[in-house]
């Protein structure tokens, strides 16, 4: 794989107590910088802005009001990028910020503009860090789960840059035949080739108060990935250096192909 999209969920970036998981961000920066040094082109889709904003405002629950979530996202995005900038700099890696909306694919001109920007950044060896623009679109916020914490946006980005692989890091080892948080006998599924109704039924609700989409939105992303003959690996981002093992071809998490 030459072009890789990596998506990290809020659960990877924010501790359950609401504090920013700086170790995870550091490991992520270290790992992705390493991939670029190996000649890969890497896009990071990062959630977490609202969680970081909640920390800044001392909130321990996500507000109901969408405008308040938008305001938190706006604050948190700034702080999150500051942290990324600082961590990536330690590894000699340049980054950029790109805020998108899901509907970019619907407008050929927008799609082309996004492609032109990302393609140039990637050719230059920069890691673009992408998030939804929560100020102008509330898809990720509305009903809490409509698009689910950038899961589907990351598949859209994979299409735009024509990535071979989407690595989706979450707070769980992969896709199980039922929600392992509720069923002790849940089994990890190594490989999924088709998102049919049987698979969809196995996806339970969301994990933590910070997570948003749960598995349903990850499966929707996987569906898009499979449709365009790309690969997706869902793995545990607790220690983001797992990315090296994934790239090494180790059997980790759930492979969708």
Report angle CA 81, 157, 141 to the nearest 5 degrees: 65
Q: Closest approach of Cβ 204 to ligand ADP, in Å?
A: 3
26 is in an annotated binding site: no
C-alpha distances out from residue 29 to 48, 73, 92, 176, 209, Å = 15, 21, 10, 28, 25
Q: Are strands 165-170 and 95-100 parallel, antiparallel or unpaired?
A: unpaired
46 is in an annotated binding site: no
Residues 139-198 close enough to bind ligand ADP by CB under 6 A = 149, 170-172, 175-176, 178-181
Which is nearer to ligand ADP, 33 or 170 (by Cβ)?
A: 170
213 is in an annotated binding site: yes
Q: Does 211 engage in binding with ligand ADP (CB under 6 A)?
A: yes
150 is in an annotated binding site: yes
Q: Closest approach of Cβ 213 to ligand ADP, in Å?
A: 4
Query: Quick one: which of 5, 6, 11, 195 contacts ligand ADP (CB under 6 A)?
Result: 11
* DSSP helix/strand/coil, 76: helix
Two structure tokens written together for 187: 């089994």
CA 104 – CA 110 distance, rounded (Å): 6
* DSSP helix/strand/coil, 240: coil
Which is nearer to ligand ADP, 10 or 21 (by Cβ)?
A: 10
Q: Does 10 engage in binding with ligand ADP (CB under 6 A)?
A: yes
Kindly determine how many residues on this chain lie close enough to bind ligand ADP according to the rule CB under 6 A: 25
Please check whether residue 169 is in contact with residue 235, taking contact to mean a CB–CB distance below 8 angstroms. yes
Q: Closest approach of Cβ 126 to ligand ADP, in Å?
A: 25
Extract the annotated binding site. Answer: 7, 47, 134, 150, 170-171, 212-218
Which residues bind to ligand ADP, rule: CB under 6 A? 9-12, 149, 170-172, 175-176, 178-181, 202-204, 206-208, 211-215
Q: Which residues define the annotated binding site for ATP?
A: 7, 170-171, 212-218
Q: Where is the binding site for substrate, in residues?
A: 47, 134, 150
């Amino acid at each position: 794989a030459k072009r890789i999209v990596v998506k990290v969920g809020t659960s990877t970036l924010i501790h359950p107590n609401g504090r920013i998981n700086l170790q995870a961000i550091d490991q992520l920066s270290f790992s992705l910088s390493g991939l670029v040094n190996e000649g890969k082109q890497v896009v990071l889709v990062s959630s977490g802005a609202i969680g970081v904003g909640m920390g800044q405002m001392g909130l321990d629950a996500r507000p109901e009001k969408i405008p308040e979530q938008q305001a938190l996202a706006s604050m948190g995005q700034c702080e999150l990028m500051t942290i990324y900038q600082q961590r990536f700099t330690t590894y000699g890696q340049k980054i950029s910020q790109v805020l998108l909306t899901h509907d970019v694919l619907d407008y050929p001109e927008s799609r082309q503009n996004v492609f032109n920007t990302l393609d140039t950044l990637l050719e230059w060896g920069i890691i673009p860090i992408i998030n939804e623009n929560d100020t102008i679109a509330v898809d990720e916020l509305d009903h809490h789960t409509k698009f689910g914490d950038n899961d589907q946006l990351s598949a859209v980005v994979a299409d735009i840059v024509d990535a071979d692989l989407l690595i989706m890091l979450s707070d769980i080892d992969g896709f199980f035949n039922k929600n392992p948080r509720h069923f002790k006998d849940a089994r990890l599924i190594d490989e999924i080739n088709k998102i049919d109704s049987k698979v969809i039924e196995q996806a339970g609700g969301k994990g933590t108060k910070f997570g948003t989409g749960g598995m349903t939105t990850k499966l929707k992303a996987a569906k898009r990935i499979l449709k365009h003959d790309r690969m997706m690996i869902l793995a545990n981002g607790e220690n983001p250096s797992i990315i090296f093992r994934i790239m090494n071809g180790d059997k980790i998490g759930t492979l969708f192909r």
